[in-house]
Structure 1
Amino acid sequence: MKNLSTTLFIILIGLCLTHTVSSEKCIQYLNPLNSKENRVFDCLMASPAQKRQLPTPPASDNMFNVQFNCLVNDKALCSKVENVFVTAGRFITATLNLKAVISVNATFLNFCEVNIAPGIDCNNPNKVILGAAGPAMVIPYKDETADKVRLYPQALYKQLGLPSHPQFGPNEIMAVFNSAANYWFEGDPLPMPERQADMLLVVTHELIHGLGFTTAWDDLFGINALTPVIAGITDDDASSKAPGGVIPKEPNAPAGSSLQFLELIFDKFMILTADGIQMTTQTDELNKFQIDVQNIKSEEQLVQAFMASPQYKVAQGLFQKATTSGSMGFKTISGDVVILETSLLPFQSSSSIGHVDFATYKNSSDFLMVFRSPTATLGQMMATAGSIDTYGPIGPLLRGILQSMGYEIKDKYVPPVELPSAKFPNKEPFAIKPVPDDVNEGTNNKKMSNNGRINSPIGINVLIIALACILVTLFM
């Protein structure tokens, strides 16, 4: 939320020997604030002895198992934040009929002290990154009805209950939150001061991103061209990125091998609202771009080759639509079209597409996944929307999105907790406007984003050191 990312943060620990190797690609992300820092590798199938034993949920009303790591010297604050994750997990569990536990690795630390986001003015209260969260791994799964492989967040993949599956990582969702940000907690004084954020609303929003409310479509090369994620050109080196710097080759890639654009399961349901064209058909069009990966020496060479291809014009046209209000939507299996956020100029990787349209849904029961955070509590937002006893924080359209992706929705919603702040509704939660120079910046602390644009190889190394105490064995 407010610059929270749904791109994942995962620390690569290592790979175990396996009996079966899949030719499909899995993707792990190395930096929650930059989706370009990812690792593409062959999925390694789990043997019977390596099948992961699922942890027992802490309570029947909470299917989220949270490993919380607090790296600040304030036990009271640490306790407050940890309790928020429990409450958020209960709200989501009250909505989704989860078949497998969702493991979350959450860390609370000062971003400025570990230099996770260099270039940000830590002394400017109008430019505070709250954190980052997202799927800890995405796994390819073939949609037999469409004969197409898409990437599934591990949290959703586990719900499928498949007898054979790739080796899972230790967590479904990774999250880091900035202890230097100004958070409000249930029980704090009301009204909420300007530029504070309700931690519960922040965490709930980000956990939904971690479950898979995120898109692969982005301007990957910064050339005003929208494409899904690229796979098929990187090797098994943990430091490799796709794209970024020199493009490493797959060791056994034959001459003539080409790259591939891959969608996330979310993208299967995306449409162009003007004519109802599915975005997946645009992926098919982009995949007509062919280049021999053995001849790629650098990202620049790849970019130049793409810009010289007919597919570049397709990607340019999609980029323009991504900055045209109301041009893209998510069509649920029930036929509802949820308008996605495409009104931001210029295009913002930290906010565009990966949220619902702000103007349409900010005052509705589907407020949770707008890109800006309100100056209101989660309880107040539900009270204003009239959803306390009907939908809770997860509105009917968001439920439709999650169900379309593959999650099962419970027949009846029973509020898991009572939020006292709901008794004091805030009728104008978005009355405070962003400061002028932050209106379209991903670093505005009144925004929620699903992937930042901060490139920080040094910062991520420092963070890895800071989080060394939380490493766990990758495979059980």
Structure 2
Amino acid sequence: MKETLLMIISLIILFSSFLYVSPAKSNSVPTQCYNHPNPLNGKYREAVSCPTSKQKVITSNLAATGSKNMFDVTLTCGVKNVSLCDEVKKTFETAGNIISSALILNSIITINASFIDFCVSMGECGGKSGLVTLGGACPARSIPLQDDDGLVRLYPQALVKQFQFKTHPEYGPYDILAMFNSAGTNFWFEGDGNMGHDQQDFLYVVLHELIHGLGFASNWGDYINENNPKAMTPDIALVPDGSDSTLKFNGFMESAFDKYIINMSSGHRTSEITNKLNTFANETGTKFSDDDDFNAKFKSSPQYKLALNMMKTVITPSSLGFLPHDSNDLAEAIILETHLNPYQEGSSVSHVDFNTYNTTNDFLMKYLADLGVNLRTMTTSRGCTEIIGPKLKLILETIGYATSDYPNPYIPSVTITSNNLNTNNLNTNFSGNIESVSSASPKMINFNFETLIILNLVGFITTRYLLKDF
């Protein structure tokens, strides 16, 4: 394929600066759930009361029709072209079938999807900058669960449902929110015939996004220096204390994905850094007058140096890996995307390494994708038999999804007891040989996927997208 005909897409996950919550009774550990009502604004989260519930979830889908698709899509299609709306609906169903075939899902995953003209519906028309938002997707709700290493982590509702707790935090009506701009780009759908070099396979975008919605996402980011990333921490939970107007620090909140990230040079889990960051509460206490007070005190603390060092790590090629279940061998770690310098929020860490996996059968969760090539062709050209590759399957198994090869995954506890705010527990490092992985710069132009802009570059027209995943 000619590079001049490539359109590069970077699929980005955007996270909130802080886990802001509405006033509510606060305990010593985080108990609120967090809704993400706008997939186009990943920095906005709403804390909601999610009291213990015994509500049941749907455990079979359309049994009367014999469907094996465990995804139930509610689609709002805002275009007048009925055939196009049907193609969008079919694409979500196809993506659901692909994932349902790879995983053992015991509870239906609900998706609230929209395919609308953002300019007409929301006034997002790009303006003079030429930027046009293409779309986004995110977990509809994140739920804090207690992990066996003492940390509380945020799990996507879609995954929590699969654990089938008898009692659990109350679920929201949807598991994943997805919104795509019908006027954003020239999407290609199965059955359209030959694919143009300026088209993007809608199935690829939807499938990639749904995987993020299932929990393939890191919470590591810079939540202190918004405009100029310098320091990396997990999400920061600041909640109203309830007794006064102060904010209470409930710790740094990793995602389910983050539990298994390791430093490839030392073999240590990055959760060890989270534990050390949480000792910040030992020196300052847990109450702050506002977020600026927290920022100022954290920047002047010894723990801030850990965050600065972590930024160096996430821009060092092949520095981080995801160690799958039942493994202590670093050679088996799945290399994460850390060759991008400067750091790119959402692209870095929350994808597999482009250089390592671009030409393999685990290409789906790389941060760059070629335009002009449909998903089926990308799969067959790499000699794949399944769209969801073996390493991606391992990641999904490890965070908690069951498969035929791994029917009994790890399940965290619904009962929260601590978030290691008053301890300095460090996990033991992993054994095994450290395998160096080449991470040369790709021969592609690196574009963030949040908005759409047309640029004159190296004598040809290229389109820049940035999809506001989460």
Q: Secondary structure at the match of 1:112?
A: helix
**Contact 2:9–2:449 (8 Å) recurs in 1:** no
State the shift of 1:139 in Å: 0.9
Once the two structures are superposed, what CA deviation does each residue of 1:9-57 show, in whole Å capped at 9, x if it has no partner?
A: 9xxxxx9xxxxxx9623222243234321123553111x4xx1442751
Partners in 2 of 1:410 and 1:448 — Cα distance?
35
Partners in 2 of 1:43 and 1:203 — Cα distance?
29
Once the two structures are superposed, what CA deviation does each residue of 1:97-145 show, in whole Å capped at 9, x if it has no partner?
A: 1011111111111223344757x45885xx554311121111111123x
Q: Secondary structure at the match of 1:147?
A: coil
State the shift of 1:151 in Å: 1.4
Structure 1 pair 255–170 and aligned structure 2 pair: CA distance change class (3 A): closer
Unaligned runs of 5+ in 1: 10-14, 16-21, 235-248, 413-430, 453-476
**Contact 1:350–1:448 (8 Å) recurs in 2:** no
Partners in 2 of 1:258 and 1:345 — Cα distance?
31
**Contact 1:132–1:176 (8 Å) recurs in 2:** yes
Q: 1:25 aligns with which of 19, 24, 32?
A: 32
Q: Aligned ranges for residues 117-266 of structure 1 at < 5 Å?
A: 120=126, 124=130, 128-144=132-148, 146-180=149-183, 181-194=185-198, 196-222=199-225, 223-231=229-237, 233-234=238-239, 249-252=240-243, 257-266=248-257
**Contact 1:334–1:400 (8 Å) recurs in 2:** no
1:279 aligned partner, one-letter code? T
Once the two structures are superposed, what CA deviation does each residue of 1:268-300 show, in whole Å capped at 9, x if it has no partner?
A: 000111111101111101111124554423x33
Q: 1:84 aligns with which of 78, 81, 91?
A: 91
Partners in 2 of 1:439 and 1:300 — Cα distance?
32
Partners in 1 of 2:401 and 2:178 — Cα distance?
21
State the match for 1:383 in structure 2.
380
Q: 1:108 aligns with which of 76, 101, 115?
A: 115
Compare 250-259 and 197-206 and name the one that shifted more: 250-259
- TM-score, normalising length: structure 2: 0.77
State the shift of 1:446 in Å: 6.0
Does 1:331 find its partner at 2:310? no
Partners in 2 of 1:295 and 1:8 — Cα distance?
22
Structure 1 pair 433–4 and aligned structure 2 pair: CA distance change class (3 A): closer
Q: 2:271 aligns with which of 273, 280, 294?
A: 280
State the match for 2:364 in structure 1.
368
State the shift of 1:442 in Å: 4.4
**Contact 1:68–1:82 (8 Å) recurs in 2:** yes
Partners in 2 of 1:209 and 1:116 — Cα distance?
27
State the match for 2:394 in structure 1.
400
Q: Secondary structure at the match of 1:401?
A: helix
Q: Secondary structure at the match of 1:351?
A: coil
Q: 1:358 aligns with which of 346, 354, 368?
A: 354
**Contact 1:344–1:440 (8 Å) recurs in 2:** no
State the match for 1:443 in structure 2.
451
State the shift of 1:358 in Å: 0.8
Partners in 2 of 1:398 and 1:152 — Cα distance?
18
Q: Aligned ranges for residues 45-64 of structure 1 at < 5 Å?
A: 45-46=52-53, 48=54, 51-54=55-58, 56-58=60-62, 59-64=66-71
**Contact 1:45–1:167 (8 Å) recurs in 2:** yes
State the shift of 1:147 in Å: 2.8
1:207 aligned partner, one-letter code? L
Does 1:347 find its partner at 2:347? no
Partners in 1 of 2:88 and 2:469 — Cα distance?
22
Does 1:40 find its partner at 2:37? no
Partners in 2 of 1:366 and 1:253 — Cα distance?
50
State the shift of 1:177 in Å: 0.8
1:263 aligned partner, one-letter code? E
Q: Secondary structure at the match of 1:407?
A: coil
2:311 aligned partner, one-letter code? F
State the match for 2:289 in structure 1.
296
**Contact 2:41–2:468 (8 Å) recurs in 1:** no
1:364 aligned partner, one-letter code? T
State the match for 1:466 in structure 2.
none
Does 1:313 find its partner at 2:305? yes
Q: Secondary structure at the match of 2:90?
A: helix
State the shift of 1:306 in Å: 1.1
Q: Secondary structure at the match of 1:277?
A: coil
Partners in 2 of 1:123 and 1:258 — Cα distance?
39
**Contact 1:258–1:293 (8 Å) recurs in 2:** yes
State the shift of 1:8 in Å: 8.8
Partners in 1 of 2:154 and 2:244 — Cα distance?
21
Partners in 2 of 1:292 and 1:115 — Cα distance?
43
Structure 1 pair 116–202 and aligned structure 2 pair: CA distance change class (3 A): farther
**Contact 1:3–1:129 (8 Å) recurs in 2:** no
Once the two structures are superposed, what CA deviation does each residue of 1:323-351 show, in whole Å capped at 9, x if it has no partner?
A: 12111111111432111111222211131
Q: 1:268 aligns with which of 233, 249, 259?
A: 259
Partners in 2 of 1:441 and 1:448 — Cα distance?
2
2:349 aligned partner, one-letter code? I
Once the two structures are superposed, what CA deviation does each residue of 1:48-68 show, in whole Å capped at 9, x if it has no partner?
A: 4xx144275135320000001
Q: 2:82 aligns with which of 60, 65, 75?
A: 75
- TM-score, normalising length: structure 1: 0.76
Structure 1 pair 380–79 and aligned structure 2 pair: CA distance change class (3 A): same
Partners in 2 of 1:333 and 1:369 — Cα distance?
19
Partners in 2 of 1:6 and 1:97 — Cα distance?
26
**Contact 2:220–2:235 (8 Å) recurs in 1:** yes
Q: Percent identity?
A: 36
2:384 aligned partner, one-letter code? S
